Amino acid sequence: MLGVTKAAGIATAWDRYKAQQPQCGFGSTGLCCRICLQGPCRIDPFGNGPQYGVCGADRDTIVARHLVRMMAAGTAAHSEHGRHIALALLHVGEHKLHDYAVHDDEKLHAVAARLGVATEGREQSDIIHELAEVTLGDYQNQDYDKPCHWISSSLPAPRLKKLSDLGLLPHNIDAMVAQSMSRTHMGCDAEPENLILGGLRVALADLNGEMLATELSDVLFGTPKPVASVANLGVLKRNAVNVAVNGHNPLLSEIICNVAADLHDEAVAAGAPEGINIVGVCCTGNELMMRHGVPLATNYLSQELPIATGALEAMIVDVQCVMPSLPRIAACFHTKIITTDNQNKITGATHIEFEEERASEIARQILRVAIDNFKRRDPKRIDIPDEKQEAIVGFSTEGIVAALATVDAADPLKPMVDNIVSGAIQGVVLFAGCNNAKIQQDHNYLTMAKSLAKRNVLVVATGCASGAFAKGGMMTSAATDQYCGEGLRGVLTAIGEAAGLGGPLPPVLHMGACVDNSRAVALVTALANKLGVDISDLPVVASAPEAMSEKAMAIGTWSVAIGLPTHLGTVPPVVGSDVVTGLITDAAKAQLGGYFIVEPDPEKAADSLFDAIQERRAGLGLST
């Protein structure tokens, strides 16, 4: 596809990245401050030039403040997503939204019980209304001594105690974001240790926001179960009205899927014999792929390329990680870019405001724009790559436990724990995060996962990591035979056969979108509780080898806070301060058990993560 864009003279993310070289050294090391109008101030990294900003801030203060602001922005993004879902649930409980309903009553009851919402003898609408109110309380509570409900009802007791003792449990998501902005204002918090503690607290608020967004989405739209799907640009169809959904929030895309079948005849009448073909991009794509098997066209970095096939009638975007370049690329083809959120508009796009009260009506309106656009296709420009990869997806925590229950119904986690103890599974790695134009797309994911699977490390993935593995053929039974070490292969084969998959479980288990990292937390919490240890004792590690967004910085930070060695394959803007670098690595390890490992080389990074797993195994007295 890059050949197609090049021939057409269209610049993509890769071209723009080249045009940005060389990128600023001050920005890359975190030594540039633009927090007040006396700046920008720059600290000379080599010690020859200025060492203080105009206000007197030193390199450590400047680096730490910038880092905390990144975490706060990531937290705000996830938590707005979560608020949107919680408000939708509240309004379903108030009978105001007729296009939404509870699709997983069992999950509703499980979540309600966890959050202390009574269910016995109550109407479903009353339960969801109270559950939504308790959840929204996590955005409103002003009592510092009462931590947010979701996090305090989810993590293992020893971890909660540690975080509480360190004063790190958030009491209010919005307050955490506001405090992060406030303490990093010019002339406020200047002590790097205190700033990083504030960063950890806001990042844990991000975890709270992710938990509630994921679990309430499951209540509304169903908890994912293993399902077959396909990935890569070959999922676009020559003979269909192709519609891509891009972004993160499932509130609109779920309804788009619901109503697409109703408009099948209109699409056929417009000249598309196969009707409407919905495909996913980025994490909205992951949400639909996990719950319904909807094909995934691509992940973040190549989101411009479906347009260049000349066969995409519309791309419907909601929030986060949507490139502002899309309308410019679309202007070279017939594709309509449709923005749907009033806080997320893009110049050149068509804006159709989404309202939950009229969800189906608006979804039909949007799909009719796509159908109408089919006639504007230029058949001579259609170039859909013949690249399509099968993938088994949908491994929510419940999906994984259900698969394990086919081996031991009475004690589903026992087979996993037994195999970790025996060493057949050495440990677990969570791959999360984005793509980044600084790295060949998906390369780090595939290299690291293959290297770790060979060493019998079970891989779970979310977000654009999931997209990379789905496209890269790592979510098939065949990949287990091809890439896993003997122990892991044996376990995945036994579970896959017991679960009736007709072959092994894939070596990489798709746990969802980037907001669904909380699913991995639920899994490691269950393992820690089963073994009676803390998360920081488990042979579990995390990696964001192609991290890009501020959300990834928030996720990486709470991952450290809950006790996981956490790899970043892109260097965050902290290396200008030895103090901050030390705080998020060595000091974090001493205080929290979790710590950052920064390593751009994927082979070396896989070795470091395997070493961290071995250190944990040794700590538990397990064979290494």
Which of helix, strand or coil describes residue 245?
A: strand
CA distance 598 to 553: 13
Q: What is the DSSP letter of 455?
A: T
CB nearer to ligand MSK: give 134 or 514: 514
CB nearer to ligand MSK: give 30 or 463: 463
Site for ligand SF4 contains 27 (CB under 6 A):
no
Q: Which of 567, 569, 565 shows the shortest CA–CA distance to 613?
A: 565
Segment lying near ligand SF4 (by CB under 6 A), choices 28-36, 282-290, 386-394, 587-595 = 28-36
- Which of ligand MSK, ligand SF4, none does residue 41 bind (CB under 5 to 8 Å by kind)? ligand SF4
CB nearer to ligand MSK: give 253 or 456: 253
CB nearer to ligand SF4: give 57 or 416: 57
Binding site for ligand MSK (CB under 6 A): 248, 282-283, 300, 320-321, 433-434, 463-464, 513-514, 548-549, 551-552
| Of the candidate residues 10, 13, 41, 175, the single one contacting ligand SF4 (CB under 6 A) | 41
Q: What is the DSSP letter of 341?
A: B
Output the smallest distance, CB 229 to ligand SF4, in A: 48
**Structure token digits, residue 488:** 């892991």
CA distance 623 to 617: 7
**Structure token digits, residue 21:** 């070289």
Considering only residues 116 to 145 of the shown chain, the ones binding ligand SF4 according to CB under 6 A are: none
Output the smallest distance, CB 229 to ligand MSK, in A: 17
Site for ligand SF4 contains 53 (CB under 6 A):
yes
Site for ligand SF4 contains 332 (CB under 6 A):
no
Site for ligand SF4 contains 32 (CB under 6 A):
no
Contact 620, 564 (CB under 8 A): no
Q: Which of 258, 260, 277 shows the shortest CA–CA distance to 101?
A: 258
| Of the candidate residues 4, 11, 36, 533, the single one contacting ligand SF4 (CB under 6 A) | 36
| Distances from the Cα of 354 to the Cα of 157, 312, 344, 362, angstroms | 41, 21, 11, 7
Site for ligand SF4 contains 30 (CB under 6 A):
no
| Of the candidate residues 54, 136, 197, 332, the single one contacting ligand SF4 (CB under 6 A) | 54
Output the smallest distance, CB 379 to ligand MSK, in A: 32
Q: How many residues of this chain interact with ligand SF4, rule: CB under 6 A?
A: 14
Sign of CA dihedral 496, 502, 507, 512: negative
CA distance 224 to 211: 15
Contact 468, 435 (CB under 8 A): yes
CA distance 292 to 567: 31
DSSP 204-227: HHHHHHHHHHHHHHHHHH-----E
Site for ligand SF4 contains 181 (CB under 6 A):
no
Write each residue from 227 to 256 as x if it is in contact with ligand SF4 (CB under 6 A), else as -, in one continuous string: ------------------------------
CA distance 436 to 182: 30
Output the smallest distance, CB 570 to ligand SF4, in A: 24
Residues contributing to the site for ligand SF4 (CB under 6 A): 33-36, 38-41, 53-55, 57, 62, 186
